[in-house]
Structure 1
Amino acid sequence: MAGTDEDAVAAADDALYVLTALLLTPAKFPSVLGDDYPEACAALGLAPLADGYGLVIGQDGTGARWTVVIDDVSLVAVAIASWDCGMEYDLSPDERTVVAALPGWPLAVAVAAPGVPAPHDPDPADGPLLAPPDTSTWGSAQRRLGADEIALQWAMWREQIDDADFPSPNGTSTGSDRAVDSGTTEGAATGVATTDDAASDGDTPPRGTPAAVATDRDASQNAPTGDGDPKDGASGALAQGTPSKGNSGIRRVLAEARAYVDSPPPLGRVRSSFASGDARTLRADGPGWSLVARTDDIAFVLLDDKPGEVLPVGRGPELPGLLEALDKMAVRPN
């Protein structure tokens, strides 16, 4: 009988108390883990399968953190959709669908399972521990989180931009001579890793006032070298008194995004998702940069070397065609 009791205790310790779940597919993955799908998979030691994975995050009976990887993507998608609608859903993957059980969590999770010890890392003997990327200072992870936030809260960010503030091709404002106020976004360097699929603690990614305005024509020409006058175009509104650096960064981003059209990047670097009306929300990432755009509107650029700043890019004559081409090649949710 004692043996039976021990088996019951062992089974309880091995049980997974599910806290949340994430999709890891070419069209939808925790972008904090990488610029593209293969990079995000590599962060977890997984091969980038075409159909992707579901990540089930929870605690065992001792309170240890575990991430269970399954190949039943549809099951996880249904669970997430149910939870988003406020419905209960018992996510219990079949053992035959389990690809790996990884110690630790790849993202910070604010909630904990009731009735078990507080979340803690498993014994190191269980293998290399997963841990959330460092977002205590601005870098690639924070930049991608900022882009996530803009895509999720597009209307809030867009309403801060007056189309009259975008410079015309001759370098003057198309409306008033006032450029968008410069500044860094509060909390941009102190956020905690999170996605819209997983709860997390800490501050949110960048929220604040966009730091500069430019049209795609400005970005394709030589950067202005004015003294910060808003009439000098994008240069006048950049923070920290570096008028040409931001515009140069925008030129580089648009050039690399155009190159994606001719030479497709790794899977997931360009993603397209639903937006209002007939528009699509586009997300593109590359070395040191992220771009978020609406196919019927403007774009926002974030750069690793411009901490906390959000650089809007007006449509101009070239951006619409670029966004259309990127949307045609982008991966989309099923």
Structure 2
Amino acid sequence: MLGQDGEGARWTVVVDDVSLVAVAIASWDCGMEHDLSPDEHTVVAALPGWPLPVAVAAPNVPAPHDPGPDVVDGPRLTPPDVEVWGPAQRRLGADEIALQWAVWREQVDDTAFPRPGGPARTPGAGEPARDGADDEAGDEAGDEAGDSAQNGAGDGPAVRPGHHRIRQVLAEARAYVDSPPPLGRVRSAFAPGGARILRADGPGWSLVARTDDIAFVLLDDEPGEVLPVGRGPELPGLLEALDRMAVRPL
């Protein structure tokens, strides 16, 4: 929760009273006033600052500001710098894709993905050619491992079959099934048609997927790139396994 103390200082508070928060959100959604003030025994952690830009403020307290050095030592939470690319920006980008799935999905040309048992797609005019390592990777039947890359600025897809980093990401995500990661690393949310939207994060990567469709991967070492992952023969089983272990909102 993002809130302010009596002096107006910004605090990010983690609580374990899910019902308390759910009631508050439901009340606010109905346009009702509701005071959300958790008891001290429900507070798991309280960190100074806000990790996101917030355009509103609590009523009847001073304007939002960071706690002073006399209150807390150490760094304050601050919104990520949108002018640079790093883990925070990558995760925020993946969250945005999850929220705007239909918008991003319609930009992907399914013909860019090779068909099981068929020849790999040949890059067209203006598309980067594949190197030898990617040729070998892309010749596997049913290659679901990322066959195109779309620039986050919306310049259109550029085909890059057999992207080896996406293979590494899928392997690391698959390892989560056998060795579950920390709670919250894999999350599942509602999607229309009985499907689920999955979000998973790992060292240097974020994955967004719909359980009945394709996936997108974002990488720290590919700033601003959104890499589609074709469905293929293995992706459905991986997404199903991740969904079973994922954290779900109440």
- Counterpart mapping for 1:131-170 below 5 A: 131-132=77-78, 134-136=80-82, 137-168=84-115, 169-170=118-119
CA distance in 2, matches of 1:110, 1:255: 40
Pair 81,156 (structure 1): closer, same or farther in 2 beyond 3 Å = farther
Q: Is the 8 A contact 1:103 1:126 kept in 2?
A: no
One-letter code aligned to 1:167: P
Give TM-score, length-normalised by structure 1.
0.59
CA distance in 1, matches of 2:160, 2:201: 22
Q: Deviation digits for residues 194-227 of structure 1, max 9, x if unmatched?
A: xxxxxxxxxxxxxxxxxx9xxxxx9895268xxx
Shift of 1:259: 1.4
Q: Report the counterpart of residue 234 of structure 1 in structure 2.
A: 147
- Bigger shift: residues 273-282 or 304-313: 273-282
Q: Is the 8 A contact 1:71 1:99 kept in 2?
A: yes
- Counterpart mapping for 1:271-310 below 5 A: 271-310=187-226
CA distance in 2, matches of 1:102, 1:330: 26
Aligned-pair identity in percent equals 73
User: SS of the residue aligned with 2:147?
Assistant: helix
Pair 79,220 (structure 1): closer, same or farther in 2 beyond 3 Å = farther
Shift of 1:285: 0.9
Unaligned runs of 5+ in 2: 140-145, 152-157
Please state if 1:324 is matched with 2:237: no
The number of equivalent residue pairs is 231
CA distance in 1, matches of 2:224, 2:99: 17
Q: Report the counterpart of residue 56 of structure 2 in structure 1.
A: 111
User: SS of the residue aligned with 1:277?
Assistant: helix
User: SS of the residue aligned with 2:103?
Assistant: helix
Unaligned runs of 5+ in 1: 1-54, 183-211, 213-217, 225-232
Q: Is the 8 A contact 1:223 1:248 kept in 2?
A: no
Q: Report the counterpart of residue 80 of structure 1 in structure 2.
A: 25
Pair 120,320 (structure 1): closer, same or farther in 2 beyond 3 Å = same
The structure with the largest alpha-carbon Rg is: 1
Pair 62,331 (structure 1): closer, same or farther in 2 beyond 3 Å = closer
Give TM-score, length-normalised by structure 2.
0.77
Q: Report the counterpart of residue 121 of structure 2 in structure 1.
A: 172
Q: Is the 8 A contact 1:282 1:327 kept in 2?
A: yes
Shift of 1:162: 2.7
User: SS of the residue aligned with 1:292?
Assistant: strand
One-letter code aligned to 2:186: V
One-letter code aligned to 1:91: L
Q: Report the counterpart of residue 49 of structure 1 in structure 2.
A: none
CA distance in 2, matches of 1:260, 1:276: 26
Q: What is the root-mean-square deviation of aligned Cα atoms in Å?
A: 3.4
